[in-house]
Structure 1
Amino acid sequence: MIWLVIILLLLSILLYLLLVPIIVVIDTINNTYYLELKGLAKASVIEDNIEVLKIKMRILFFKFYMYPLKKMAIKKSKKTKVLKPKNERFINSKNLKRVLRVIKSFNIKKFYMNLDTGDYAANAKLYPVFSFLNFYKATNCNVNFVGENNVQLIIQNRPVRIIKSFINL
């Protein structure tokens, strides 16, 4: 009986980890930028006065900060490795298709863009393009002439969809 409870508990944890939403938020209006595994972890990019930016990590109940732009201590290596030039292409068609399938597995929940290029003629040329995008897609793209540039983007995915995109050819 105890084994059955343990197995069911492990299966429920595995199912939760496969179905937990992964959310990426980029919001220049409120200056919030984060990647979140709903209920498990969250990594936020925050402006810092001393350093340029810091990353606030929250994993379950623990919080800690990382400073990615802080200089690391340089370790001198005694041996240097000679790198051989690779004859393979960096991007082959199989890897490119796999990357495109992973990108297509993401869902855009919200997209808002308010753009001013600073040039009245360029703004006028962008106006029909943004009208076309707003009509046929679920986006909200605006052109303004007052100097405001804003983006709000919320993207969501689940680990099971990412794994499925790797498995399916």
Structure 2
Amino acid sequence: MVLVIVLLMLMVLLVYLLLTPISFCVDTRTDQYLIQQKGVVKASVLGDEKEVFKVKVNTLFFRFYLYPLRVNKGNSKPKVKAKKKTGKQKFLSFKTGLKLLKAIKVKTFWMDVDTGDCILNAKLYPAFAYLNYKIGGFNINFQDRNQLVLNIQVKPIHIIKSFINF
């Protein structure tokens, strides 16, 4: 009976993890860069005084920091050269890539660009006006302001479905 309950709880957890969307958020206005799956994990990139940046990871019960640019000097093992593969390996086909792009939902997109050159800004203005008319979220300015707000959501089940051929 206990085994059935544990297996049922694991199945519910697996379904929750597959159906809960993963959010990718980039907001240069508020310096917020994060990846999160609601209720499970949240990883955000923060600036640091000693290092260039650090990654703050919040899980269900833990909070810790990762320093990806820190070099670990203690455990350096000699590297073994990998054998070169002779055949051409195909990682992602074009059709699978399109299915993967269709699984991604863009919730928020806004881009405000200034190139620093007023002539180039003037040349880009018609293209941005057309993109803003068709898609939306594009802006060109002449005030030295570069901003990007991007919020993308994807469900893990949709990623798995894009790799499986039905």
Matches of 1:164 and 1:133 in 2, distance apart?
31
Q: Show structure 2 runs of 5+ residues with no match.
A: none
Quote the residue 2:87 is aligned against: 88
Given the alignment of the two structures, is residue 165 of structure 1 paired with residue 148 of structure 2, yes or no? Answer: no
Quote the residue 2:119 is aligned against: 121
Question: Which of 140, 147, 150 in structure 1 is aligned with 2:147?
Answer: 150
Sequence identity of aligned pairs in percent?
Answer: 41
Matches of 1:56 and 1:107 in 2, distance apart?
25
Matches of 1:15 and 1:125 in 2, distance apart?
50
Matches of 2:128 and 2:112 in 1, distance apart?
10
Task: Tell me how far 1:101 sits from its aligned partner.
Answer: 2.8
AA aligned opposite 1:66: L
What TM-score comes out, normalization by structure 1 length? 0.86
Task: Tell me how far 1:7 sits from its aligned partner.
Answer: 4.8
Matches of 2:138 and 2:6 in 1, distance apart?
51
How many residue pairs get aligned? The number is 164
AA aligned opposite 1:106: I
Task: Tell me how far 1:70 sits from its aligned partner.
Answer: 0.9
Q: Deviations over 1:79-113 (max 9, x none)?
A: x64443322235x3x62333443233111111110
AA aligned opposite 1:128: P
Q: Show structure 1 runs of 5+ residues with no match.
A: none
What TM-score comes out, normalization by structure 2 length? 0.88
> Which runs of structure 2 are paired with 1:13-162 in the superposition (5 Å)?
13-73=13-73, 75-77=76-78, 81-89=80-88, 92=90, 95-97=92-94, 98-137=96-135, 139-162=136-159
The alpha-carbon distance between structure 1 residues 6 and 132, as it changes in their structure 2 partners (threshold 3 A), is same
Task: Tell me how far 1:5 sits from its aligned partner.
Answer: 4.8
The alpha-carbon distance between structure 1 residues 82 and 33, as it changes in their structure 2 partners (threshold 3 A), is closer
